[in-house]
Homo-oligomer: A and B are copies of this chain.
């Protein structure tokens, strides 16, 4: 049993791939991972995917991706939980390596969201929320976020400009990234003049459906050293849940699952939040980004927007976030989203982040969540070599 480490990554651009099926996208990412990083021996494949079943397309996706790659002498598992599908896959892959049962595993996710009509996509994305009262009354994920945005903005006296700070930062970061879906910079004027999704949110406040696949290879540190592979350590992780109904929580804008997952992960890593140099959060909307940042405790609740505007979270700031644009600008292929976050953090630790490179980083944090912080996952990475 050793420390789990990430030794390689493979990924596609995020976009709309009309001519490629889900296997071809997966194949491209996995080929990059296996060729570039020389990952040959694999004991297990973990695949996250949110919508393939809902699209009536394919169940048991991990088995079919293993078949595509000719990987048969392995254990396969398919995970499905919206934007955290690959977070769950990675969480379990790490346990598999820690258990000593697997020396080398491949884990990630794939999503081909653009294959369906917009109304089908909107509904599918919203079905991670409890369907009894969300899907049933025609409430969508984005509109749920919008309602909580109103509560939050009222409570902390924030205006539309505060809400815009995060998408502007994310598009700034994605504008230099090669694999991101949206590479245009945006301004406050563009945001407020854009079509409304659900007031106060416009299309620039919400992630768009994206296609993509991202996988990482995790081994024990011992295995990586024996094979002469560079790596980033996984130092800690934690997970927690809270009531699915935001109106049952003490406050709908407090992301309790995130903050409890954070406590566990930091404790396991033996770190404090002040030691973290870079953060990738999973925020399908601008508002959820603010709530996540609030719950990470880097500032006081309600001040995340101000901290963004003050440059605290910029690429050259104290703690850069979503350095390739996050779900909003890098794109949000649901079942692959957390895997992309891992890819991006790996590139940063390895000084392979190109124009988006953050300097002098030692420890990083990855956040992912199911729905509106129903279940959250935090990972602490660092000590790259």
Contacts and interface: CB of A to CB of B under 8 A. Distances in A.
Interface string A306-338: 000000000000000000000000000000000
Interface in A66-99: 66-67, 71-82, 84, 88, 91-92, 95-96, 98-99
A191 interface: no
Interface in A124-181: 124, 127-128, 130-131
Given A1-B100, A101-B95, A81 B54 contact: no
A62 interface: yes
Contact of A100 (B79, B88, B98, B128): B98
A123 to B, nearest CB: 8
Given A59-B124, A95-B99, A240 B73 contact: yes
Interface string A240-271: 11111000000000000100100000000000
Interface string A97-112: 0111110000000000
A53 interface: yes
Nearest to A68: B244
Interface of A: 1, 44, 50-51, 53-54, 56-60, 62-64, 66-67, 71-82, 84, 88, 91-92, 95-96, 98-102, 123-124, 127-128, 130-131, 239-244, 257, 260, 370-371, 374-375, 377
